[in-house]
């Protein structure tokens, strides 16, 4: 009887340790807020253009998938094309340039969406159909710019 | 509750309630300028009528029914401008090697074996008022928008291809291979059915479909896009003034695309 009780208490204690410590669960959140990683690696998604996102960062972290899903139904079925929660606008604003100066696709781990989704091990299906970078044809790079860019890339390679 | 029956979270609803003030102001200013400011894209199909672009935050209504009138007499034999324009616009391959590859629009040749008269015409989704593809879809992915444009909601499509079998016009195709680098305004992906969208992304901006534009710019101007519900639109006037036909009119589908001279 006594040994059985001991097992039960031991089990409860193990759950308690797993739940609260020795590494408190909120340490990740704190680290992400402050940008200090400490022992825990944290994702560092690239900042978007402009001053602020379309909603609070906290709101977007928790609810971006809900607003995107809602907007998607409104757009496909009812032709509502407001920009605020449009996936296309997210992609345009949060584009991350690669070494060649062209925005990276979701194939690249630097992609805005991937930086957190890889960390959280949540797969994202959007880009099986949707473009994961702004329209490259629409972004005209002048020949001078392209030459300067390739020179910069070359020099970066030489000095490394 | 939204269309698909999901319950929206209250905080999400709150965020959506906040209207985009600057956008509203811009639209008000733009509408004050009227046809002048918005004219270039719009007057093309409105033919000088007062410019009217639906604000981005308003849902489509059945006030308009978009349709096309195609004059096979002006459609050039060997001309492929509409097909290549569609392929460029949406990112599919007009020179597909395999018969199972995507084709949103294709040229069809008609020949009268008795008289020898030859005609060609573009064939694509006819945007039926009673679309068989919508009737058979088991998930509701195939649907007709309020303004008559027949679309596939690829988020709901399971790729069963019943709609492809139901369509009398062979207008739909299936994506068999994984795709990359799609156009931002034209999402396409493996495992879903797709067809002509009547360039819904352009229509929502008050522009004309890519095929119609290409036909007018580089070919005979055989295609006319417009509002079938508006008796004063160019397309309605022409349909009222001379004989036009629906292909497979016997099926009583009330197609949005009509033909002349076939």
State yes or no: pLDDT of A17 exceeds 80. Answer: no
- Tally of domains within chain B: 1
CA of B225 vs chain A CAs: smallest distance (Å)? 18
CA distance B113 to chain A (A): 44
Q: Are B238 and B230 in contact (CB under 8 A)?
A: no
With an 8 Å Cβ cutoff, are A77 and B143 in contact? yes
Answer yes or no: is B143 within a domain.
yes
SS3 B84: helix
Token pair recorded at residue B184: 């931002």
Q: List the single range of A78-82, A134-138, B128-132, B236-240 with lowest mean pLDDT.
A: A134-138
Please identify which residue in the block is written with the tokens 């229509």. Answer: B203
Tell me, yes or no, whether B20 lies in a domain: no
- Print burial letters for A18-40: b (CB count within 10 Å at least 16), e (below 16): eeeeeeeeeebeebbeeeeeeee
Q: Please give, rounded to a whole number of angstroms, the shortest distance from the CA of B66 to a CA of chain A.
A: 14
What percentage of chain A carries pLDDT values higher than 90? 49
Please enumerate in sequence order all residues whose Cβ is within 8 A of that of A94, keeping only pairs 6 or more positions apart, or say none. A45, A46, A48, A112, A113
Check whether A74 has a pLDDT greater than 50. Answer: yes
B6: left (phi over 0), alpha (psi -120 to 50) or beta: beta
Q: What CATH number is associated with residue B231?
A: 3.30.70.20
User: Which of A129, A130, A137 has the most B C-beta neighbours within 10 Å, making it the best mutation to test the interface with B?
Assistant: A129
Q: Which residue has the higher pLDDT, A80 or B46?
A: A80
pLDDT at A23: 46
pLDDT for A33: 45
Please report, in angstroms and rounded to a whole number, the separation of the first and last CA atoms in chain B: 48
Return the DSSP state at A103.
Answer: B
A129 and B189 in contact by Cβ < 8 A?
Answer: yes
Q: Which residues of A touch B180 (CB under 8 A)?
A: 105
Model confidence at A136: pLDDT above 80: no
Residue B2 belongs to a domain: no
Establish if B13 belongs to a structural domain: no
Residue in B184, B185, B201 to test binding to A, most A beta-carbons within 10 Å: B184
A-chain residues within 8 Å CB-CB of B2?
A: 70, 73-74
pLDDT of residue B45: 43
Query: Per the CB < 8 Å rule, is B56 touching A91?
Result: no
Q: Which residues of A touch B (CB under 8 A)?
A: 55, 59, 63, 66-67, 69-70, 72-74, 76-85, 88, 91-92, 105, 128-131, 134-136
Picking from B143, B187, B192, the nearest residue to A130 by CB comes out as B187
Burial of A76 (0-12, 13-18, 19+ CB in 10 A): buried
Q: How far is residue A13's CA from residue A7's CA, in Å, rounded to a whole number? A: 10
Give the angle subtended at the CA of B101 by the CAs of B133 and B111, to the nearest 5°: 75
Domain with B156 in it: 66-260
Concatenated DSSP letters of A22-75: SS-THHHHHHHHHT--TTS----PPPPSSSS-SS-HHHHHHHHHHHHHHHHHHH
* Residue found by looking up tokens 């060649």 in the block: A100
- B44 φ/ψ sector (left φ>0, alpha ψ -120 to 50, else beta): alpha
Question: Is residue B109 within a helix (H) or strand (E), and if so which, with residue range?
Answer: strand B105-111
The pLDDT, as a whole number, for residue A6 is 60
pLDDT tens per residue across span B164-194: 999 999 999 999 999 988 999 999 999 999 9
pLDDT score, position A39: 86
What average pLDDT score do residues A85-102 get? 93
What's B65's DSSP letter? Answer: -
Lowest-pLDDT choice from A47-51, A127-131, B233-237: A47-51
pTM of whole model > 0.90? no
Q: Tell me, what's the pLDDT at A54? A: 93
Q: Can you tell me the distance from the alpha carbon of B240 to that of B225, in angstroms, rounded to the nearest whole number?
A: 15
Distance of CA A142 to CAs A98, A133, A139, A149, Å?
A: 18, 19, 10, 10
| pLDDT of A137 | 62
B-chain residues within 8 Å CB-CB of A82?
Answer: 20, 23, 56-57
CB contact under 8 A, A130 and B184: yes
Whether B136 maps to a domain, the answer reads yes
Q: What is the mean pLDDT of chain A?
A: 77
Coarse DSSP helix, strand, coil percentages of chain B, rounded to the nearest 5 percent = 30, 15, 55
Among positive and negative, which fits the CA dihedral B215, B217, B219, B222? Answer: positive
B247 lies in some domain: yes
Is ipTM beyond 0.85? no
> Out of A76, A128, A134, whose CB is closest to B190?
A128
Q: Tell which wins on pLDDT, A24 or B190.
A: B190
Q: What is the pLDDT along chain B (262 residues), one digit of tens a residue?
A: 444 445 556 666 666 555 444 444 555 554 444 444 444 444 344 443 444 688 999 999 999 999 999 999 999 998 999 999 999 999 999 887 788 889 999 999 999 999 999 999 999 999 999 999 999 999 999 999 999 999 999 999 999 999 999 999 999 999 999 998 899 999 999 999 999 999 999 999 999 999 999 999 988 899 999 999 999 999 999 999 999 999 999 999 999 999 999 8
Q: Do A70 and B187 touch (CB under 8 A)?
A: no
User: Tell me: the pLDDT tens digits for A31-43?
Assistant: 444 455 578 888 8
More confident residue, B48 or A94: A94
């Amino acid at each position: 009887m006594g040994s059985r009780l001991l097992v039960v208490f031991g089990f409860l204690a193990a759950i308690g340790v797993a739940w609260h410590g020795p590494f408190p669960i909120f340490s990740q959140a704190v680290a992400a807020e402050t940008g200090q990683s400490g022992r825990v690696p944290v994702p560092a998604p690239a900042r978007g253009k402009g001053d602020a996102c379309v909603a609070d960062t906290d709101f977007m972290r928790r609810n971006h998938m809900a607003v995107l899903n809602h907007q998607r139904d409104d757009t496909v079925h009812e032709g509502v094309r407001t920009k605020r929660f449009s996936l296309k606008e997210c992609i345009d604003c949060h584009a991350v340039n690669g070494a060649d100066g062209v925005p990276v696709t979701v194939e690249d781990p630097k992609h805005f969406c991937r930086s957190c989704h890889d960390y959280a091990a949540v797969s994202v299906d959007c880009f099986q159909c949707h473009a994961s970078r702004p329209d490259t044809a629409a972004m005209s790079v002048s020949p001078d710019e392209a030459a300067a860019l390739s020179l910069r890339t070359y020099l970066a390679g030489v000095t490394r | 509750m939204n269309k698909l029956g999901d319950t929206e979270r209250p905080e999400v609803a709150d965020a959506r309630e906040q209207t985009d003030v600057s956008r509203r102001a811009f639209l008000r200013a733009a509408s004050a300028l009227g046809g002048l400011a918005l004219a270039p894209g719009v007057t093309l199909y409105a033919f000088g009528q007062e410019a009217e672009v639906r604000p981005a935050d308003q849902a489509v209504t059945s006030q308009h029914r978009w349709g096309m009138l195609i004059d096979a007499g002006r459609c050039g034999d060997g001309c492929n401008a509409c097909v290549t324009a569609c392929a460029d616009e949406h990112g599919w391959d007009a020179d597909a090697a395999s018969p199972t590859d995507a084709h949103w629009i294709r040229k069809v040749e008609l020949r009268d074996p008795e008289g020898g008269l030859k005609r060609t015409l573009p064939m694509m989704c006819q945007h039926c008022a009673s679309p068989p593809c919508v009737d058979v879809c088991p998930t509701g992915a195939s649907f007709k928008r309020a303004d008559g444009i027949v679309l596939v909601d690829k988020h709901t499509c399971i790729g069963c291809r019943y709609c492809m079998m139901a369509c009398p016009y062979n207008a739909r195709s299936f994506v068999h291979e994984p795709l990359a680098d799609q156009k931002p305004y034209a999402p396409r992906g493996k495992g879903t059915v797709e067809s002509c969208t009547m360039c819904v992304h352009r229509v929502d901006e008050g522009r004309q479909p890519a095929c119609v534009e290409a036909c007018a710019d580089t070919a005979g101007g055989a295609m006319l896009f417009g509002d079938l519900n508006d008796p004063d639109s160019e397309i309605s006037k022409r349909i009222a003034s001379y004989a036009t036909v629906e292909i497979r009119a016997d099926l009583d589908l009330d197609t949005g695309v009509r033909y002349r001279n076939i």
